[in-house]
């Protein structure tokens, strides 16, 4: 690149800047990845930048480095006096000597080094070690020679391995110097000895830049580079952490505001050197690069357009640029139109960035702004300026119909302007022409010396100095096919032009145009004005008026169309988005307000009555709720408590809810018991089958024996168990029993803990697990006891059954409060009694309804026995204890272990009933009295219901166990509460059923309230909105569609990216956000804060606040998403990795401002 | 470098909820087991670079929600899958029974070009647990009946067989991809190739 003195300084600045940038890139990589691979593209680009600095101002001639830009020769040159350089120089030669094929590519960077030089340099630098090495290499190309030093051999081994690619051979010596950590030293040497190698004004010789350059490289030289092929060595998607970290690093220098150009991080970046990656790269600059490439290629080869003219190194002086820029000028003929294009050289193919010493994509993109693309239809005048007397090229200025000049185009000497004009004229045919025609001028001279008569001299004084006088011409482009409106405008302008004043200013054949057909046509079109036009003497003022009026008309019409487009845009906003926000904008919080603090809450909540809903919501929306207030406040937010309700009212409401919750729970617990029983049977069968089909014959025998024995004895157990569950309401227990029970519980618990230690069961044990069920064991082996029971019960209890069924039908879910209590009472009793058929026969009717405590006390003995008896032989076992007879013996350890997990699960389930017993007692005493004392379970629940609910329970169980078990609250028995709340909900909404995600929605409520019934009620309220998000509802698709519209309106750049990735339309990365109200995206404390704002937002700003939250989350990382041009999968991965690491307060704030933004847009409509 | 052809293998893990899909994926990719995983909502994926037949490929392993209710979501994720991993829990017979419907559902939604020979791999997970209920033989029978799907018994917790299973997955996915190329180039060779190169065989599992 030819340097002028003027821009020399600027150029040096640029060189240094590019080194700085690459160093930064490399250091970033080192920080984020902990190591840098030798072949990393950052290394290559750094070397490129250094090379550019070193070759600038190099005194090639003086050094005998003819025609080469390679600094390798320089290195060899200084090797004699600089030990570091000598070392590197040696290495370079060895590598070059090793692989002659690579020699040409390695020895020069951008220019082929002439063979002569290569020879001389290698000759002069031959050393003993390299020659011996060459011998060694003759036998094996990959082995390192033992005669060289250790460090050399390492480099050699690596360099000689076949994997080394051309890319890594580029800038070879700089690369090696970097690896060997000697680059700084070498450059310091060059800087201190600059006078002998560099021009005085070169970068290296400059006192400031030189030292900057060497000090810049200190950092990279301290790095350790690796050739290790780690797992991450291959390109992989960077982890979200890395993306964010990189973004932080790079956003430091650029402002990260949304309007600014997105930071270019470019870690998928691949330079020209790694073409392999370039083709697969998907990030934006790569995408734009390929577009650019297409564009440039379309200049030459284009199926749709004919290239009429093409000339390189045509200078154009774009606006805001001091110096004319060289570029490629071309004239293209499309079917309808003629286009003049000019593309800066920087954008053209083959433009070597390294030559220019600036490898920045940013710069390259900036050049697009200078590229010209002119439709000849829009051009009215072609002004040509040429110095007279000599062929000095010429300048063409194109003037559009709006009178705007296009940037001047300077043609190089050699008649190129004439060629261009003649091509233009040819292109205009047959529908248009240059006026005056070119051929008449061109006719005489080959050299474009136009006849004097056609010239227009602007200044008479200049005319005197013959040689200096510029020769100017103005051609008009006349298009016969031009649109009428344009023709009219044109004719007016034409008229103006032909007035003396205009003619004076510019030039042209004043009379020549008057006979143009165009003009007469236009006059016809303006019959009203034509008389004026005809009066040439008075025409001047009028014509100016006309021009003004035409312009006015055009301006108005443009304004109109602009306005129309804007209106359309707004109508989109209105139709799609106005429903998303409230029209009324609620004033934001004052600076001193901090959301709903205790003081504010006490002020609002006068005498326990909360009246001012708006103020309440406003505070919550803008500032959130103080954590300790949440328990009190959330029921209001969720709509559980009504505003204005008194303390007593709320208390009553709570009690009703509790009652309702407990009755409902007892209902499903009854069903749960049956389901459990059935499941155990099934499992037992499966195990039996497995063991029988398996090779374990001993096992098989035991199971079968147990099966046989089980027949008669099992029923009692099944029985007790069920009655136990279903009769929490009965209170005929005494303190004695209780105490006894508690003692036993203590024992059982110890044992259970022991068991659990053995099994490593995940179920947490708690002191609240009062009863341990023997049933699982019983059920496992009893293949069909449940069914038998049912059948028997049917026979026994015919009369009651009918009655019972009727009751059931009336009361089946969802029951009203009144009927519910009755039906619940009856249902669990029936289950109890039904299940307890046999027992009922032995006991009195009144006894058949047993207190759970009583039963569990009985049951409690079983596990003990069980544990002891596991080792006993089957016969003995059966004799000793009837219940235990079912137990499978030591024959199969597998099965024995397996038994326990369902059992512990079962006991866990039971515990809540126990906990709540007192309450239930109080509530249900009256009911149990009026309920029919006996019935059968078989008729009460259809088998479909059982199956359906059983399946749901099974799923709930699985998910509850996995739900937030690392959060302190759920580390203990609270998981049972969670399960109860969900099961109750599912029981009440069996048509909906359990769906994954419900756990996540209940959990935070439970954490806040620590109360099942309140959590349940609030969960029901919450689900009114959330249920639509689940697969059964349609809200998710709506959310996605709204997201799309929102992004379109609020972030068009993001929208473009998404639009270009068709997949984005699905917005599946938002799925979990919407399904769970961001519960999985944030940590618990943030979930609380976010949820309350969502609830309050409904009344303050937007019923769809989640959309704005989602958008805010997206916007928070927009620069990362945009600069990496993430597609659908990238975004999913990114946000999954970022889960629970967002800054919730910042996101909330952004979401609120986005709501406001949309409100403003809509209001301004 | 220049000869290194990057390719992306998309692998979908399907199966009932809590059979251990997430755990398997994380055991394979991160060599870690955690008992803290929650039910997967939506979908997630991990990528891992593997070397198969001297070729470096990126495996993109998609972990999906287990509840069949969420299958409607699947279409977006199933598209373009190269291999489908069906996971069941050896202690949960239902999860085994549901393999059929998972397989069918996948074939319907992903609609691969050649459904008959689309590579599946079946994993019987949680073999570290004692209360096994689905026998190896039963599972193998099922796999054989479905065009010889390779079958592995794994434990994400103990890391048993996980590496091997995923190697097979990668290999079969790659073969599927290679077959697709062959089919595109030489339509006549479909049958020959698909018979000879049929990925997987029942003998893969010796456990």
Judged by average pLDDT, the poorest of A199-213, A642-656, B59-73, B152-166 is A199-213
The closest of B57, B99, B105 to B82, measured between CA atoms, is B57
Contacts 24+ apart (CB under 8 A), A217-221: A217/A19, A217/A23, A217/A50, A217/A178, A217/A183, A217/A184, A217/A187, A218/A184, A219/A23, A219/A27, A220/A23, A220/A26, A220/A27, A220/A46, A220/A178, A220/A183, A221/A178, A221/A181, A221/A182, A221/A183, A221/A184
Q: State mean pLDDT over A529-538.
A: 50
- Chain-chain contact of A690 with B131 (C-beta, under 8 angstroms): no
The pLDDT, as a whole number, for residue A4 is: 52
Candidates A975, A1031, A1133: best to mutate against B (most CBs of B within 10 A) is: A1031
Residue-wise pLDDT tens digits, A843-867 = 434 333 333 434 433 444 444 444 4
Residue B204 in any domain: the answer is no
Calpha distance A343→A476 (Å, rounded): 25
- Chain-chain contact of B38 with A894 (C-beta, under 8 angstroms): no
The nearest alpha carbon in chain B to A238 belongs to B47
The closest of A295, A221, A196, A270 to A36, measured between CA atoms, is A221
pLDDT higher for A30 or A1034?
A1034
The pLDDT, as a whole number, for residue A1064 is: 53
Beta bridge partners, B121, equal B85
| Residue A66 pLDDT level (bands cut at 50, 70, 90) | low
| Residue A319 pLDDT level (bands cut at 50, 70, 90) | confident
- Chain-chain contact of A694 with B131 (C-beta, under 8 angstroms): no
The dotted CATH code for A5-99+164-226 is 1.20.58.900
3-state helix, strand and coil shares in percent for chain B, rounded to the nearest 5:
45, 25, 35
Q: What is the CATH number of the domain that holds B162?
A: 3.40.50.300
The closest of A387, A382, A375 to A405, measured between CA atoms, is A382
Least Cα separation, residue B186 to chain A (angstroms): 26
Q: State mean pLDDT over A1090-1104.
A: 92
- Chain-chain contact of A962 with B93 (C-beta, under 8 angstroms): no
Closest CB to A165: pick one of B2, B44, B132.
B2
Average pLDDT along chain B = 82
The pLDDT, as a whole number, for residue B16 is: 92
Least Cα separation, residue A39 to chain B (angstroms): 10
| Residue A373 pLDDT level (bands cut at 50, 70, 90) | confident
The fraction of chain A above a pLDDT of 90, given in percent, is 14
- Chain-chain contact of A1066 with B69 (C-beta, under 8 angstroms): no
Q: State mean pLDDT over A491-505.
A: 39
Q: State mean pLDDT over A268-286.
A: 36
What is the DSSP code string of A929-985? Answer: HHS-S---STTTS-HHHHHHHHHHHHHHHHHHHHTTTTSGGGGSTHHHHHHHHHHHH
| Residue A743 pLDDT level (bands cut at 50, 70, 90) | low
Calpha distance A1003→A979 (Å, rounded): 10
pLDDT(A255) > 50: no
Residues in A touching B60 (Cβ below 8 Å): 1129
Candidates B47, B93, B131, B163: best to mutate against A (most CBs of A within 10 A) is: B131
Q: State mean pLDDT over A633-653.
A: 92
Candidates A159, A686, A1000: best to mutate against B (most CBs of B within 10 A) is: A686
The pLDDT, as a whole number, for residue A363 is: 58
Calpha distance A577→A680 (Å, rounded): 53
Beta bridge partners, A394, equal A411
Residue B2 in any domain: the answer is no
Q: Alpha helix (H) ranges present in A161-283?
A: 166-169, 172-179, 183-192, 194-197, 207-216, 218-222, 240-251, 275-280
Calpha distance B153→B122 (Å, rounded): 8
Closest CB to A1066: pick one of B45, B76, B138.
B76
Least Cα separation, residue B133 to chain A (angstroms): 6
Least Cα separation, residue B134 to chain A (angstroms): 7
| Residue A215 pLDDT level (bands cut at 50, 70, 90) | confident
Q: State mean pLDDT over A1039-1043.
A: 88
Closest CB to B47: pick one of A236, A694, A1030.
A236
Residue-wise pLDDT tens digits, A377-392 = 888 888 888 766 555 6
Residues in B touching A762 (Cβ below 8 Å): 35
The nearest alpha carbon in chain B to A278 belongs to B2
Residues 6+ positions from A842 with CB-CB distance below 8 Å = none
Residue B65 in any domain: the answer is yes
Q: Is A335 exposed, middle or buried (CB count within 10 Å of its CB: 0-12, 13-18, 19+)?
A: exposed
Answer yes or no: pTM beyond 0.90: no
- Chain-chain contact of B43 with A1132 (C-beta, under 8 angstroms): yes
**Domain residue spans of chain A:** 5-99+164-226, 288-350+366-441+471-480, 559-588+1034-1164, 646-686+941-1028
The nearest alpha carbon in chain A to B134 belongs to A690
The token duo for A86 is 């000598």
Q: Which of A91-105, A370-384, A477-491 has the highest mean pLDDT?
A: A370-384
The nearest alpha carbon in chain A to B65 belongs to A996
The pLDDT, as a whole number, for residue B87 is: 96
The CA-based angle B113-B117-B120, given to 5 degrees, is 105
Least Cα separation, residue B195 to chain A (angstroms): 33
Average pLDDT along chain A = 66
- Chain-chain contact of B69 with A163 (C-beta, under 8 angstroms): no
Closest CB to B1: pick one of A163, A966, A993.
A163
Residue-wise pLDDT tens digits, A1056-1096 = 888 887 765 568 889 999 999 999 999 999 999 999 999 99
| Residue A470 pLDDT level (bands cut at 50, 70, 90) | low
Candidates B10, B38, B88, B98: best to mutate against A (most CBs of A within 10 A) is: B38
- Chain-chain contact of B60 with A1129 (C-beta, under 8 angstroms): yes
The token duo for A767 is 């002191």
The pLDDT, as a whole number, for residue A1088 is: 95
Q: State mean pLDDT over A567-585.
A: 80
ipTM score of complex: 0.86
Q: Report the 10 Å Cβ neighbour count for A744.
A: 21
Least Cα separation, residue A1062 to chain B (angstroms): 12
pLDDT(A358) > 80: no
> Which residue has tokens 């890319």?
A167
Q: State mean pLDDT over A139-152.
A: 37
Fold that domain A288-350+366-441+471-480 belongs to in CATH: PH-domain like (2.30.29)
pLDDT(B13) > 90: yes
**Overall number of domains in chain B:** 1
- Chain-chain contact of B131 with A693 (C-beta, under 8 angstroms): no
pLDDT(A819) > 60: no
The dotted CATH code for A646-686+941-1028 is 1.10.8.270
The token duo for A791 is 């059948």
Residue B203 in any domain: the answer is no
Fold that domain A559-588+1034-1164 belongs to in CATH: Cyclin A; domain 1 (1.10.472)
The pLDDT, as a whole number, for residue A1005 is: 94
The pLDDT, as a whole number, for residue A28 is: 78
The pLDDT, as a whole number, for residue A232 is: 42
Residues in A touching B39 (Cβ below 8 Å): 958-959, 962-963, 996-997, 999
Q: Is A834 exposed, middle or buried (CB count within 10 Å of its CB: 0-12, 13-18, 19+)?
A: buried
DSSP state of A584: S
The pLDDT, as a whole number, for residue A288 is: 54
| Residue A812 pLDDT level (bands cut at 50, 70, 90) | very low
The pLDDT, as a whole number, for residue A1020 is: 94
pLDDT(A167) > 60: no
- Interface size A-B, in CB pairs within 8 Å, comes to 115
Residues in B touching A898 (Cβ below 8 Å): 91, 130-131
Least Cα separation, residue B58 to chain A (angstroms): 8
Torsions phi, psi for A188 (to 5 deg):
-60, -40
The nearest alpha carbon in chain B to A692 belongs to B135
Residue-wise pLDDT tens digits, A334-349 = 777 788 888 888 777 6
The nearest alpha carbon in chain A to B69 belongs to A1031
Q: State mean pLDDT over A513-525.
A: 36
pLDDT(A147) > 70: no
The alpha carbon of A176 is separated from its chain's Cα centroid by a whole number of angstroms, namely 39
| Residue B121 pLDDT level (bands cut at 50, 70, 90) | very high
pLDDT(A644) > 60: yes
Strand order, beta sheet including B83-89: B43-52, B55-64, B7-15, B83-89, B120-125, B151-153
- Chain-chain contact of B133 with A693 (C-beta, under 8 angstroms): no
The nearest alpha carbon in chain B to A997 belongs to B41
Beta bridge partners, A58, equal A198
Least Cα separation, residue B70 to chain A (angstroms): 6
pLDDT(A673) > 70: yes
| Residue A629 pLDDT level (bands cut at 50, 70, 90) | very high
User: What separation, in Å, do the N-terminal and C-terminal C-alpha atoms of chain A show?
Assistant: 54
* Domain assignment of residue B168, given as a range: 7-197
Q: Which residues of B touch A (CB under 8 A)?
A: 1-2, 4, 6, 17-18, 35-45, 47, 49, 56, 58, 60, 65-67, 69-70, 72-73, 76-77, 91, 93, 130-135, 137-138
Calpha distance A254→A262 (Å, rounded): 9
pLDDT higher for A1027 or A872?
A1027
Calpha distance A834→A796 (Å, rounded): 10
- Chain-chain contact of A898 with B91 (C-beta, under 8 angstroms): yes
Residue-wise pLDDT tens digits, A876-915 = 444 444 443 333 333 333 333 444 444 343 434 444 444 4
pLDDT(A277) > 50: no
The closest of A943, A731, A944 to A850, measured between CA atoms, is A731
The nearest alpha carbon in chain B to A970 belongs to B36
pLDDT(B48) > 60: yes
Element (H, E) at A298: helix A284-300
């Amino acid at each position: 690149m030819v340097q002028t003195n003027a821009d020399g300084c600027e150029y040096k600045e640029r060189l240094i800047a590019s080194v700085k940038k690459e160093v930064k890139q490399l250091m970033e990589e080192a920080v984020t990845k902990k190591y840098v691979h030798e072949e990393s593209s950052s290394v290559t680009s750094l070397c490129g930048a250094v090379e550019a600095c070193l070759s600038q101002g190099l005194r090639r001639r003086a050094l005998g480095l003819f025609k080469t830009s390679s600094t390798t020769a320089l290195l060899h040159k200084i090797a004699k006096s600089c030990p570091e350089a000598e070392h590197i120089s040696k290495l370079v030669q060895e590598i070059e000597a090793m692989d002659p094929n690579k020699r040409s590519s390695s020895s020069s960077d951008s220019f082929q080094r002439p063979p002569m030089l290569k020879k001389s340099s290698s000759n002069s630098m031959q050393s003993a070690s390299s020659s011996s090495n060459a011998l060694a290499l003759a036998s094996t190309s990959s082995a390192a020679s033992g005669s060289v030093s250790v460090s050399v051999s390492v480099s050699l081994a690596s360099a000689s391995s076949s994997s080394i690619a051309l890319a890594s051979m580029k800038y070879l010596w700089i690369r090696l110097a970097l690896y060997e950590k000697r680059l700084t030293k070498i450059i310091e040497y060059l800087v201190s000895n600059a006078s002998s190698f560099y021009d005085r004004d070169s970068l290296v010789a400059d006192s400031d830049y030189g030292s900057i350059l060497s000090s810049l490289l200190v950092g990279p030289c301290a790095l350790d580079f690796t050739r290790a092929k780690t797992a991450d060595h291959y390109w992989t998607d960077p982890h979200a952490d890395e993306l964010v970290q990189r973004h932080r690093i790079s956003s430091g220098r650029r402002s990260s505001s949304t309007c600014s150009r997105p930071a270019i991080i470019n870690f998928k970046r691949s330079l020209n050197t790694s073409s392999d990656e370039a083709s697969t790269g998907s990030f934006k600059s790569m995408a734009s690069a390929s577009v650019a490439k297409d564009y440039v290629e379309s200049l030459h080869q284009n199926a749709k357009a004919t290239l009429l003219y093409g000339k390189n190194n045509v200078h154009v002086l774009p606006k805001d640029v001091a110096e004319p820029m060289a570029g490629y000028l071309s004239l293209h003929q499309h079917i309808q139109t003629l286009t003049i294009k000019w593309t800066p050289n920087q954008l053209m193919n083959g433009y070597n960035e390294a030559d220019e010493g600036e490898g920045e994509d940013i710069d390259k993109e900036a050049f697009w702004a200078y590229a010209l693309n002119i439709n000849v239809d829009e051009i009215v005048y072609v002004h040509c300026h040429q110095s007279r007397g000599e062929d000095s090229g010429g300048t063409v200025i194109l003037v559009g119909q709006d009178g705007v000049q296009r940037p001047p185009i300077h043609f190089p000497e050699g008649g190129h302007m004439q060629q261009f004009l003649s091509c233009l004229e040819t292109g205009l045919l047959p529908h248009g022409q240059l006026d005056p025609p070119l051929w008449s001028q061109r006719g005489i001279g080959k050299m474009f010396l136009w006849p004097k008569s056609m010239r227009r001299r602007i200044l008479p004084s200049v005319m005197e100095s013959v040689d200096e006088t510029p020769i100017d011409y103005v051609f008009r482009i006349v298009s016969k096919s031009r649109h009428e409106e344009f023709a009219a405008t044109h004719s007016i302008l034409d008229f103006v032009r032909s007035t003396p004043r205009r003619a004076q200013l510019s030039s042209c054949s004043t009379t020549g145009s008057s006979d143009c057909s165009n003009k007469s046509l236009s006059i016809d079109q303006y019959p009203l004005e034509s008389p004026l036009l005809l009066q040439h003497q008075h025409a001047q003022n009028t014509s100016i008026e006309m021009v003004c009026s035409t312009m006015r008309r055009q301006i108005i019409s443009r304004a109109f169309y602009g306005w129309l487009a804007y209106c359309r845009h707004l109508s989109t906003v209105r139709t799609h988005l106005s429903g998303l926000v409230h029209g009324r904008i609620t004033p934001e919080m004052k600076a001193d307000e901090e959301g709903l603090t205790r003081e504010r809450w006490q002020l609002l909540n006068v005498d326990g009555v909360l009246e001012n809903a708006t103020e309440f919501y406003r505070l919550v929306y803008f500032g959130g709720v103080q954590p300790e207030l949440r328990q009190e406040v959330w029921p209001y937010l969720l709509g559980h408590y009504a505003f204005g309700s008194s303390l007593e009212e709320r208390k009553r409401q709570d009690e009703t809810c509790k009652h309702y919750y407990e009755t409902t729970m007892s209902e499903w617990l009854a069903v749960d018991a049956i389901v459990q029983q059935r499941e155990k049977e099934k499992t037992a069968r499966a195990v039996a089958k497995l063991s029988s089909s398996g090779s374990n014959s001993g096992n098989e025998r035991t199971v079968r024996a147990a099966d046989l024995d089980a027949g008669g004895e099992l029923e009692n157990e099944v029985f007790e168990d069920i009655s136990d569950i279903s009769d929490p309401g009965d209170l005929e227990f005494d303190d004695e029993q209780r105490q006894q029970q508690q003692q036993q519980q203590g024992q059982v618990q110890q044992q259970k803990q022991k068991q659990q230690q053995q099994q490593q069961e995940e179920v947490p044990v708690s002191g609240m697990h009062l009863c341990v069920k023997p049933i699982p064991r019983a059920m496992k082996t009893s293949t069909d006891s449940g069914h038998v029971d049912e059948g028997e019960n049917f026979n026994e209890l015919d009369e009651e059954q009918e009655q019972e069924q009727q009751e059931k039908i009336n009361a089946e879910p969802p029951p009203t409060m009144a009927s519910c209590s009755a039906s619940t009472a009856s249902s669990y009793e029936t289950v109890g009694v039904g299940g307890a058929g046999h027992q009922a026969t032995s006991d009195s009717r009144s006894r058949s309804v047993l207190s759970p405590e009583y039963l569990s006390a009985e049951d409690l003995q079983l596990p003990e026995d069980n544990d002891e008896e596991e080792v006993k032989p089957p016969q003995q076992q059966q004799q000793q204890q009837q219940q235990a007879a079912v137990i499978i013996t030591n024959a199969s350890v597998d099965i024995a272990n397996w038994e326990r997990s369902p059992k512990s699960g079962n006991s866990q389930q039971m515990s809540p009933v126990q906990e709540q017993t007192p309450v239930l007692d109080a509530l249900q005493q009256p009911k149990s009295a009026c309920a029919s004392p006996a019935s059968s379970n078989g008729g009460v629940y259809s088998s479909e219901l059982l199956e359906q609910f059983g399946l749901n329970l099974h799923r709930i169980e699985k998910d509850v166990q996995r739900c937030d078990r690392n959060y302190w609250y759920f580390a203990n028995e609270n998981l049972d509460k969670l399960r109860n709340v969900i099961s109750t909900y599912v029981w009440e909404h069996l048509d909906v059923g359990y769906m994954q995600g419900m756990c996540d929605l209940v959990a935070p409520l439970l954490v806040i309230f620590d109360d099942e019934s309140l959590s349940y009620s609030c969960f029901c309220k919450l689900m009114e909105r959330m249920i639509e998000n689940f697969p059964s509802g349609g809200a998710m698709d709506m959310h996605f569609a709204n997201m799309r519209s929102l992004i379109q309106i609020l972030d068009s750049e993001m929208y473009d990216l998404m639009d270009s990735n068709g997949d984005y339309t699905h917005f599946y990365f938002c799925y979990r956000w919407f399904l769970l109200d961001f519960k999985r995206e944030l940590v618990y404390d943030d979930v609380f804060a976010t949820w309350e704002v969502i609830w309050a937002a409904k009344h303050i700003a937007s019923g769809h606040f989640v959309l704005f939250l989602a958008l805010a989350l997206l916007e928070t990382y927009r620069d990362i998403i945009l600069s990496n041009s993430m597609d659908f999968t990238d975004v999913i991965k990114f946000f999954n990795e970022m889960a629970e690491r967002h800054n919730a307060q910042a996101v909330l704030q952004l979401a609120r401002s986005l709501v406001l933004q949309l409100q403003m847009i809509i209001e301004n409509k | 470098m220049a000869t290194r052809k990057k390719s992306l293998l998309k692998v979908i893990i399907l199966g009932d909820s809590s059979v251990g899909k997430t755990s398997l994926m994380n055991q394979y990719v991160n060599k870690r087991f955690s008992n803290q995983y929650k039910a997967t909502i939506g979908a997630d994926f991990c990528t891992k670079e593997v070397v198969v037949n001297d070729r470096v490929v990126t495996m993109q392993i998609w972990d999906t929600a287990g509840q069949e209710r969420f299958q409607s979501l699947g279409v977006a994720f199933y598209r373009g899958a190269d291999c489908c991993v069906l996971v069941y829990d050896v202690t949960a017979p239902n999860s085994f029974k549901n393999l059929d419907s998972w397989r069918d559902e996948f074939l319907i939604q992903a609609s691969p070009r050649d459904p008959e020979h689309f590579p599946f791999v079946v994993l019987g997970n949680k073999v570290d647990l004692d209360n096994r209920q689905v026998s190896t033989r039963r599972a193998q029978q099922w796999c054989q009946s479905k065009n010889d799907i390779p079958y592995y018994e794994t434990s994400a917790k103990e890391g048993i067989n996980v590496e091997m299973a995923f190697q097979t997955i990668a290999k079969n996915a790659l073969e599927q991809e290679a077959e697709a190329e062959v089919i595109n180039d030489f339509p006549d060779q479909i049958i020959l190739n698909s018979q000879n190169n049929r990925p997987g065989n029942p003998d893969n599992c010796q456990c």
